[in-house]
Amino acid sequence: MKAESRDSVRKSQSMRSRSGVVAAALQTVAFFGLVLMAIHAFAATENDAFERCARLGRGINLGNAMEMPRGRPLWEPQPEHLDLIKAAGFNSIRIPIRWSEYAATDAPFAIDPAWFTGVDTLVNAALDRKLAVVINVHHFNELMADPVGQHQRFLAIWNGIAEHYREFGPDLFFELLNEPHGKLRPQLWNELLSESLAVVRRSNPNRAVIVGTAPWGGVRGLKDLVMPEGDRNLILTVHYYEPYHFTHQGASWANKGADAWLGTTWDGTRNEQRAIRADFDQVAAWAKEHRRPVYLGEFGAYNKADMESRARWTDFVAREAEKRGMSWAYWEACSGYGAYDPKAGAWREPLLRALMPSATGR
């Protein structure tokens, strides 16, 4: 071999080894870069869930409208309602929706496009007014009665909703299921929530998703709730209606004997306060242990209770939630728990003051 070509071989060998060193160095840099990005992404998503939850702030449920049986809403939310809600200082609304009534009963369980159009109108009107919006799956009674038989349908409904809203901004939140109960026992719910979350994540990798407890979204279900550990963009939701005999007095749908509870007051005695604080402490402890933000998605007292007690209770519950950094949504706007009186065209002042003390100058 000529000297010249030996040199060029050596040169190319040394270039190879040098480029090997450079490649290794680049690989190391890339590796640590990826680790840093992963750490950052993890931290960012975790903070995002807290930030997203804070965005919900003080909210109100548009209950007894879109979750009622087909054609039988108790009232129909209009843009004017959203103006009133915004002007009162609320940050968000929660729209309970009975999707199951508008989804085919045979595979692929398509959702009626006309129903989507109606939901879109309301969602867009709220987002235009800078109100954050929670949409859920509400009153899916068939699922509670037959979780195995309705399993694929539930996943398909979520696939349909998630695909439909995939381009919407982060102020739209998904809540997987209102108050799992009946045969949808906690263990089964944990499995289903994880599966439905995976379906949502295919099209909405970054959306904040809200998940509640079984049975009935209550505090007592927390001990059984398992949220997928790796998904840090989740918000815990609980509902609060204690003492039940007070908040559901005269509520025929809640209990046949609910009329016997009429006249129950909530006076805010030390014991009454202590009981509520203990429940909220339990929620806060779970949230701290699992590093999840909390959204109190429903609380309210029915209009058969006296207004003074209702306002006192509402104020106390809202403040206890806020003290623990929780966002909330009052149950509800214009119906039996209504903070707003649609006939009089006015807020029920004691309830509004209880919900929004700073906005009403208290």
Residues with a known catalytic role: 179, 298
- The minimum distance between CB 136 and ligand BGC, in angstroms, equals 10
Alpha helical stretches, state H, 57-150: 79-87, 113-128, 141-145
How far is residue 177's CA from residue 133's CA, in Å, rounded to a whole number? 15
Shortest distance (Å) from residue 29 CB to ligand BGC: 53
Find the helix or strand (DSSP H, E) in which 101 lies: none
If the CB atoms of residues 63 and 293 are measured against ligand BGC, the closer one turns out to be: 63
Question: Distances in Å between the alpha carbon of 314 and those of 159, 246, 307, 351?
Answer: 36, 12, 10, 7
For the bound state, the minimum distance from the C-beta of residue 302 to ligand BGC, rounded and expressed in Å, comes to: 7
Task: Tell me how far apart the alpha carbons of residues 346 and 253 are, in angstroms, rounded to a whole number.
Answer: 27
- Helix (H) / strand (E) element for 276: namely helix 270-290
For 51, residues 6+ apart whose C-beta sits below 8 A from its C-beta are none
Nearer to ligand BGC, 158 or 331 (CB): 331
Q: Is 251 helix (H, G, I), strand (E, B) or coil?
A: coil
Site for ligand BGC, rule CB under 6 A: 178-179, 254, 298, 331
CA–CA separation, 48 and 44 (whole Å) = 6
CB of 215 to ligand BGC, least distance (A): 12
Buried b (16+ CB within 10 A) or exposed e, 39-67: eeeeeebeebbbebbebbbbbbbbbbbbb
Closest approach of ligand BGC to the CB of residue 178, in Å: 6
Asked if residue 279 lies in contact with residue 221, where contact means CB atoms within 8 angstroms, the answer is: no
Residue closer to ligand BGC by CB (options 69, 230) is 69
The whole-angstrom separation of Cα 214 and Cα 205 is: 25
The pair of structure tokens assigned to 224 is 């059984």
What is the closest distance, in whole angstroms, from the C-beta atom of residue 355 to ligand BGC in the complex? 17
Smaller CB separation from ligand BGC, 147 or 180? 180
Contact 62, 95 (CB under 8 A): yes
Annotate 198-221 with b (16+ C-beta within 10 A) or e (fewer): ebbbebbeebbbbbbbbbebbbeb
Shortest Cβ 298–ligand BGC spacing (Å):
6
The string over 101-136, giving b where at least 16 C-beta atoms fall within 10 Å of a residue's C-beta and e elsewhere, is bbbeeeeebebeeebbeebeebbebbbeeebbbbbb
C-alpha to C-alpha distance for 44 and 228, rounded to whole angstroms:
17
**Which is closer to ligand BGC, CB of 140 or CB of 331?**
331
Query: With respect to ligand BGC, which residue has the nearer C-beta, 92 or 249?
Result: 249
| Residues present in the chain in total | 362
Q: Measured from the CB atom, is 160 or 250 closer to ligand BGC?
A: 250
